[in-house]
């Protein structure tokens, strides 16, 4: 979802066959989902949880899906359509398949060119957007030194980003949801939408978060803080039909896609994983990791 709310969702006119494929994938993923209420281990360092929100959404099943990732077992990657050799927007599922990733989620919102992030985004020598905005959080990984945390969410109100910036090869800036003091920092609004977010818990594990059911972001943050996630920091990465999360671990495969957005796509009917230009993905750490799979 581009930051300008006036964007018209032209992809709604995609072929009916593609819509049916998206519907089948989404329905299959939902059929494999565990009972709501807690995390289930998928493999070492990777857990999947499905939670019923205590606040009912006006649309959908009022469930939040969370993938919990231990960075000691997984390597993080930023994938950009703007990077040489890519050039094409893909769904999170297709980004993962093309790059042999275990999971993928939106990396950030994007601009009207359907390629460029709304604020700072770089990985290695590739710069998708050099503009450093007023947004308060930066996901950083791929450190230049092994003494640094492999992955972190930097909060500009609590840490010196100017000092940390040259210490990480991959940087993704976006809107803060939960501050470094554990507070909900999003103002209340009448608008609701599907959402994807990235968080960090008290144990240093990272969370890929997806809610197809629309909420105001203030309410969604309160919901997340109330769930047994031990959520310490979080940043918003996408909303509406663009918001998606994909995971494939062994025989378990889930694909979650967004739909509703006040003022632009007021329907829960979307069954198609829209192509997006930038995703955050993970691969298993250790030998065999593809060097062209993005940052790190």
Exposure b/e, 8-42, CB count within 10 A at least 16 = b: eeeeeeeeeeeeeebeebbeebbeeeeeeeebeeb
Q: Write out the two tokens for 20.
A: 């049916």
Residues of the chain with pLDDT under 50: 4-34, 288-296
Task: Please tell me the total number of residues recorded for the chain in this structure.
Answer: 296
Task: State pLDDT tens for residues 232-256.
Answer: 999 999 999 999 999 999 999 999 9
Residue 174 and residue 213: Cα distance in Å, rounded? 22
Beta bridge partners of 25: none
Buried b (16+ CB within 10 A) or exposed e, 236-261: bbbbbbbbbbbbbbeebebbbbbbbb
Q: Indicate the pTM of the whole model.
A: 0.87
Q: Residue 26: in which H helix or E strand, if any?
A: helix 16-32
* Backbone conformation region of residue 151, classed left if phi is above 0, alpha if psi is from -120 to 50, else beta: beta
Rounded distance between C-alpha atoms, residue 203 and residue 225, angstroms = 15
- Nearest in space to 218 (alpha carbons), one of 201, 195, 252: 195
pLDDT at res. 284: 98
CB atoms within 10 A of CB 287: 5
pLDDT of residue 83: 95
* SS3 state of residue 240: helix
Gap between the Cα atoms of 180 and 209, Å rounded: 18
Beta strands in 158-225 (DSSP E): 168-178, 193-201, 206-215
Look at residue 31 in the predicted model and tell me its pLDDT. Answer: 37
pLDDT of 62 reads 98
Question: What is residue 206's predicted lDDT score, i.e. its pLDDT?
Answer: 98
What is residue 171's predicted lDDT score, i.e. its pLDDT? Answer: 98
């Amino acid at each position: 979802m581009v930051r300008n709310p006036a964007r018209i969702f032209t992809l709604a006119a995609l072929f009916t066959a593609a819509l049916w494929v998206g519907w089948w994938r989404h329905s299959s993923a939902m059929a494999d989902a565990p009972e709501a209420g807690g995390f289930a281990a998928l493999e070492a360092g990777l857990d999947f949880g499905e939670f019923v929100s205590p606040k009912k959404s006006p649309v959908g099943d009022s469930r939040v899906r969370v993938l919990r990732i231990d960075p000691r077992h997984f390597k993080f990657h930023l994938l950009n359509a703007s990077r040489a050799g890519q050039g094409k927007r893909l769904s999170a599922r297709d980004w993962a398949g093309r790059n042999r990733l275990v999971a993928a989620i939106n990396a950030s919102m994007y601009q009207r060119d359907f390629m460029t992030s709304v604020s700072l985004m770089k990985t290695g020598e590739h710069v998708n957007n050099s503009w450093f905005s007023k947004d308060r959080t930066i996901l950083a990984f791929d450190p230049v030194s092994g003494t640094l945390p492999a992955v972190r969410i930097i909060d500009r109100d609590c840490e010196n980003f100017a000092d940390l910036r040259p210490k990480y090869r991959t940087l993704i800036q976006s809107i803060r949801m939960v501050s470094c003091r554990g507070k909900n920092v999003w103002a209340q609004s009448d608008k609701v939408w599907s959402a994807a977010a990235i968080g960090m818990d008290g144990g240093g594990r990272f969370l890929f978060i997806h809610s197809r059911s629309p909420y105001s972001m203030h309410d969604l943050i309160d919901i997340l803080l109330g769930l047994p996630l031990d959520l310490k920091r979080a940043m918003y990465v996408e909303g509406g039909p663009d918001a998606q999360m994909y995971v494939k671990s062994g025989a378990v495969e889930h694909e979650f896609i967004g739909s509703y957005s006040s003022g632009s796509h007021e329907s829960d009917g979307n069954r198609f994983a829209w192509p997006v230009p930038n995703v955050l993905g993970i691969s298993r750490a250790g030998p065999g990791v593809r060097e062209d799979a993005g940052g790190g």
